Amino acid sequence: MPASLVQGDSVLAVNIGAATTRAVLFDVVEGEYRLLASASTPSTAEAPFLDVSEGVRHALHELQTVTGRTLLTADRQLITPSQPDGSGVDAFVSTLSAGPALKTAVVGLLEEVSLESALRLAEMTYTRVVDTAGLNNHRRADQQIDTILRLQPDVVIISGGMDGGASRSVHKMLEPVGLASYLLPPEKRPTVLFTGNQKLDDEVKGLLGNVTSSLHFSPNVRPSLETEDLEPASRELAQIYLGVRQRQLKGLDVIASWSNGVVLPTAYAEGRMVRFLSQIYAGSKGLLSVDIGASAAVIAAGFGKQSRLGVYPQFGLGENLPALLQYTTLEDILRWCSLDISSGVLRDYIYQKALYPASIPATKEDQAIAQAVTRQALYLAVQTAKRNFPRSVRVPRPGLLPSFEPILAGGGALGDAPTAGQSLLLLLDAIQPTGLTTLILDKNDLLPLLGAAAARNSIMPVQVLESGAFQSLGTVVSVVASASYGSLVARARLTYEDGHEAQAEIKGGSLELFPLADGQSAKLTLQPARGADVGFGQGRSGAVRVSGGAMGVVIDGRGRPLILPDDPVRRRELVKKWLWTVGG
Amino acid sequence: MLAPVHHILPLTTIQRERVLPTNGKVNARLNQKVSPADVVAEASWAREHVLLDVAGVLNLSPDAADKLIRCKVGDRIAAGAVIATKPGILPKIIKAPREGRVAAAGGGEVLMEVGESRMELRAGIPGSVVQVIPDRGVVIQTAGALVQGVWGNGRVDTGILTNLAEQPDSVLTAGRLDVSLRGSVIIAGQCKESDTLQAAAELPVRGLILASLFPSLLPVAREMRYPIVLTDGFGSFPMNSAAYRLLTTNVKREATLNAEMFDRYNGARPEIIIPLPVSSELPPPQDAATFAAGLTVRLRRPPAAGMIGTIAALHPGLSTLPSGLRAPAADIKLENGEQVLVPLINLEVVG
């Protein structure tokens, strides 16, 4: 039985992704938690391996080779707690995103109230909503039954009825779910989450208790018309996710037994970490985390006590990739590409990549296409997530993102880019941040793993975060301006600690970089052109202390929203120029 | 590092589980010889449901309505048959709107199953039934050549293998398809036009083995009633040399195309099986291996996507690829003598 996480314990954390399984070892060095080593191997959830524990064991074997620390017994079981001879670990935590998105049916009462909240809840984990039903839905009960029988959802989320409110209408919604479940073979019955009027819990139990795969309850996601509370339900949904996955993925029970029965959805753990960080580092700005991998794009944002989590399998870069074309065009993807690639070649790439989600670009052309696809998928994910940000959060202009500090980025496509400059440019293009922010790259995908550990050890995440385990790309100033190409949008002056200065005039459509190494700081003075906003408000000048990073201090004068030229030759030249500016 | 194995085998033992998605009747017996088109199991289920709100229509409580309902679960009901009657001077009668079976009754309601959908599960491969899975299906075993594909359109059929691909990169056009090919399973290279798929349907052929297909043709390919298996992928790939050699040396033999959709979570893959006689039972092929020098591999992505080569050397640690990415990699000696650096994750062992 693994020991619980307490201060001083060594912690082994494993993330089982759709393409990659990563194992990370943390331990206390000179009184503080540090990332000791990480190792990754291809995931084994899919054929021909069909056993997630195989990939985990291989990753642990790699970790053993790197660290010289024995982690597995001769029969490949985890050694826990750590032994006097230095083998083993004290605690093990795990996150999971492998597996197909859960087919989810969402049932609510009013479309713009409980149904909307339930849909937002479904978006908080790896789901694909296959059906929605509400009071305004004009399908008869028997038609709804047939829909459920045909789609065979893994999960049904039912919301509706304010606490103490409607019961008859809710009852009417439950009936098709109950009857359809009754008609399905036991192994195909859905797991049901009821997040509606809490007074109806007993009635729901009576109606659905015997006919569902398992029945879960959480506090009402919409206790009143004005209030929405998704957090407790998302916690329950995380448990449901694990339950469904344990039925679907062989070997997960082994990993769950190593981690005391708790394997968190990667996105949930990431959301938890962002919530935690946005509370402890509460400033005037929110905190944003973006992650794009084979299974989904995950956008988590914290605004003090409020947080938002969006999980978008439709923007994942793996087996779902062809579905991206339902949300965008080949031309919109190609606008990001520095090479002259035909739409046919791009389409072939998308379908071929979906056949081999874990494969990586080996040639320059493949890499250019892969980065264009990543940009567009992440761009769409951020734009989708933005709709759910609290209305109270100030944005510099309608339609733009609020200013965040910092922005954390993870996922294979971002963390594994060949150069820091390419990661930076990809993030600037896809996220299009505004104002002043620090861009931080999570190359080892630590954020969700720290989120998984945070519930039982709140010290470790903070110490690891401050230990330099994340790579700072630098400070970015994204000028909000609608200036034409080549016209002045701002003046910038960087005063280094030794007193010397660097200055630049920032022109529309350009990127300027000031070198400033990681760990160094400097004073940045910014003077926007008329109508422009450099983060201090429209037309306002100011000075601020900034930190360095791999790319120093970056002033992005390309405008927000970033509009690329229509002419493909000119556009490619510009994209090449930007790429060259950040080091190629 | 673990390596997936892509089967292109001249002679092996092949075992395949064929199961219904729901409980049904298994027709095949243990040790029975089956051909691909044989129906080994079948199931039927209601096409749709009708929910009769007896309590609501009769304006009664659910309990009171239940007492008036004349049918019970499992009853077969004719269209117009009385489901419930509320006595009175003007009695209210609820009748079955359609013929069907009572699936559930209670709470003042009756749920009827109406219409019937049937599914016939075909053997998919020729062979012997080595296991019967009660109510669900069978496990069939055969011996022969096996070529796995990467995409299939979900159909199954058997026919005589005919080669229309002079080269692995030949392009199949509608003009090449004439009436002499009716009933054949055709080996072709690439397909770039929907007319070609339509022409094959009009003959009709018993199957198409393509190296690659333009993704824009997928909707048409899915609609075809004959099986289509892609050996290499989407776009303009030539057929990999191992599959091409094996298929073309078996021309005029009977081949089964099981163009099953690739399901990465249960391992089902489209495949071509050419039954061959064996004197003794061969071990089934391994699905996974470990990368090592000397192994034959297939490249999944550029450079040289779809080509077959041999691992010349495994690089220690991480190597920098032409793309700039760093990953575990190997030098692959291609059949044309060229050597390329390929990340291991882009390789699969052929065997």
Residues A42-96: tens digit of each pLDDT: 999 999 999 999 999 999 999 999 999 999 999 999 999 999 999 999 999 999 9
- Helix (H) or strand (E) run with residue B313 in it: strand B308-314
For residue A456, pLDDT beyond 90: no
Residues A355 and A422 in one domain: yes
Beta-carbon separation of A364 and B264 below 8 A = no
The residue of A21, A142, A211 whose CB has the most chain B CBs within 10 angstroms, and thus the best one to mutate to test that interface, is: A142
Q: Work out whether the CA dihedral A64, B346, A340, A344 comes out positive or negative.
A: negative
Residue A55, domain CATH? 3.30.420.40
B349 part of contact set with chain A, CB < 8 Å = no
Residues A126 and A196 in one domain: yes
Closest listed residue to residue A485, CA positions, set A427, A563, A381: A563
> Is A554 among the domain residues?
yes
Residues B259 and B299 in one domain: no
Residues B243 and B161 in one domain: yes
Closest listed residue to residue A366, CA positions, set A350, A387, A383, A382: A350
Distance between CA atoms of B147 and B8, rounded to whole angstroms?
Answer: 4
> Is A2 among the domain residues?
no
Residue B294 Rama label (left phi>0; alpha psi -120 to 50; beta)? left
For residue A6, pLDDT beyond 70: no
Distance between CA atoms of B84 and B52, rounded to whole angstroms?
Answer: 10
What is the mean pLDDT of the segment spanning A119-137?
A: 94
Distance between CA atoms of A327 and A342, rounded to whole angstroms?
Answer: 19
Residues A364 and A501 in one domain: yes
Q: At what angle do helices A266-280 and A446-454 cross, to 10 degrees?
A: 80
Give CA B57 to chain center in angstroms: 47
Closest listed residue to residue A357, CA positions, set A407, A292, A299, A280: A292
For residue A3, pLDDT beyond 70: no
β A404-410/B76-77 pair status: unpaired
Distance between CA atoms of B141 and B125, rounded to whole angstroms?
Answer: 8
Residues A172-185: tens digit of each pLDDT: 889 999 999 999 98
Rounded to the nearest 5 degrees, what angle is found at the Cα of A387, between the Cα atoms of A385 and A389?
80
β A501-507/A488-496 pair status: antiparallel
Closest listed residue to residue A506, CA positions, set A559, A572, A549, A563: A559
> Is A263 among the domain residues?
no
pLDDT band of A164, cuts 50, 70, 90: confident
- The confidence score (pLDDT) of residue A502 equals 97
Residues A51 and A192 in one domain: no
Residues B212 and B148 in one domain: yes
Distance between CA atoms of A573 and B249, rounded to whole angstroms?
Answer: 51
- The confidence score (pLDDT) of residue A2 equals 40
B291 part of contact set with chain A, CB < 8 Å = no
CB contacts of B150 in chain A (<8 Å) are: 355
The residue of A154, A355, A422 whose CB has the most chain B CBs within 10 angstroms, and thus the best one to mutate to test that interface, is: A355
Distance between CA atoms of A457 and A462, rounded to whole angstroms?
Answer: 10
> Is A470 among the domain residues?
yes
Interface confidence (ipTM) of the complex? 0.92
Beta-carbon separation of B48 and A146 below 8 A = yes
Domain termination residue (choose one: A46, A65, A98): A98
- Scanning chain B, the segments in alpha helix (DSSP H) are 54-58, 62-68, 194-202, 218-223, 241-248
- The confidence score (pLDDT) of residue A414 equals 86
Residues B74-114: tens digit of each pLDDT: 999 999 999 999 998 888 999 999 999 999 999 999 999 99
- The confidence score (pLDDT) of residue A352 equals 96
Considering only CB atoms, B303 lies closest to which of A50, A99, A362, namely A362
- The confidence score (pLDDT) of residue A64 equals 96
Considering only CB atoms, B327 lies closest to which of A99, A146, A360, namely A360
- The confidence score (pLDDT) of residue A166 equals 67
Q: What is the mean pLDDT of chain A?
A: 93
Residues B162 and B238 in one domain: yes
Residues A168 and A313 in one domain: no
Residues A298 and A184 in one domain: no
Range of the domain at B60: 45-117
CA dihedral B209, B213, B215, B219 (to 10 degrees): -40
Beta-carbon separation of B346 and A145 below 8 A = no
Write out the two tokens for B307: 């080509």
Q: Which chain A residue has its CA at the smallest distance from B306's CA?
A: A352
β B171-172/B156-163 pair status: unpaired
- The confidence score (pLDDT) of residue A79 equals 97
- The confidence score (pLDDT) of residue A8 equals 67
Q: Work out whether the CA dihedral B101, B70, A175, B51 comes out positive or negative.
A: positive
> Is B253 among the domain residues?
yes
Residues A367 and A487 in one domain: yes
Residue A209, domain CATH? 3.40.50.360
**CB proximity under 8 Å: B 79-108 to A:** 103-104
Decide: B314 and B332 in contact? Cβ < 8 Å.
no
User: Residue A479, SS3?
Assistant: coil
> Is A537 among the domain residues?
yes
CB contacts of A173 in chain B (<8 Å) are: none
Domain termination residue (choose one: B275, B303, B333): B275
Give CA A306 to chain center in angstroms: 17
pLDDT band of A111, cuts 50, 70, 90: confident
Residues B181 and B229 in one domain: yes
CA-to-CA dists, residue B164 to A142, B107, B189, B215, angstroms? 51, 65, 8, 22
CB contacts of A363 in chain B (<8 Å) are: 302-303, 321-323
Decide: A386 and A401 in contact? Cβ < 8 Å.
yes
For residue A7, pLDDT beyond 80: no
Gyration radius from chain B CA atoms: 27
Distance between CA atoms of B283 and B275, rounded to whole angstroms?
Answer: 16
**CB proximity under 8 Å: B 21-40 to A:** 22-23
Residues A348 and A431 in one domain: yes
Domain termination residue (choose one: A65, A98, A131): A98
Decide: A451 and A273 in contact? Cβ < 8 Å.
yes
Domains contained in chain B, number: 3
What is the mean pLDDT of the segment spanning A103-128?
A: 94
What residue type is B341 in one-letter code? L
Residue A330 Rama label (left phi>0; alpha psi -120 to 50; beta)? alpha
CB contacts of B192 in chain A (<8 Å) are: none
Range of the domain at A208: 102-248
Residues A230 and A293 in one domain: no
Distance between CA atoms of A428 and A476, rounded to whole angstroms?
Answer: 9
Residues A135 and A93 in one domain: no
Domains contained in chain A, number: 3
- The phi and psi torsions of A246 (rounded to 5 degrees) equal -65, -30
B56 part of contact set with chain A, CB < 8 Å = no
> Is A225 among the domain residues?
yes
Residues A326 and A452 in one domain: yes
Considering only CB atoms, A363 lies closest to which of B236, B266, B323, namely B323
Distance between CA atoms of A289 and A298, rounded to whole angstroms?
Answer: 8
Residues A232 and A85 in one domain: no
CA-to-CA dists, residue A481 to A89, A403, A472, A567, angstroms? 52, 15, 26, 22
C-beta neighbour count of A448 within 10 angstroms: 33
> Is B218 among the domain residues?
yes
Q: What is the mean pLDDT of chain B?
A: 95
- DSSP letters along A71-128, please? -B-TTSPBP-S--TTS-S-SEEEEEE--SPPEEEEEE-SSIIIIIHHHHHHHTTSSEE
- The phi and psi torsions of B249 (rounded to 5 degrees) equal -80, -10
CA-to-CA dists, residue A106 to A155, A576, B261, angstroms? 9, 45, 28
CB contacts of B327 in chain A (<8 Å) are: 360
Distance between CA atoms of A119 and B323, rounded to whole angstroms?
Answer: 40
pLDDT band of A242, cuts 50, 70, 90: very high
> Is A146 among the domain residues?
yes
For residue A463, pLDDT beyond 50: yes
Residue B339, domain CATH? 2.30.30.30
Distance between CA atoms of A94 and A55, rounded to whole angstroms?
Answer: 13
- The confidence score (pLDDT) of residue A1 equals 37
Decide: A415 and A423 in contact? Cβ < 8 Å.
yes
Considering only CB atoms, A348 lies closest to which of B103, B215, B321, namely B215
Distance from CA of B252 to the nearest CA of A (A): 31
Three-state DSSP string of B188-208? CCEECCHHHHHHHHHCCCCEE
What is the mean pLDDT of the segment spanning B269-292?
A: 92
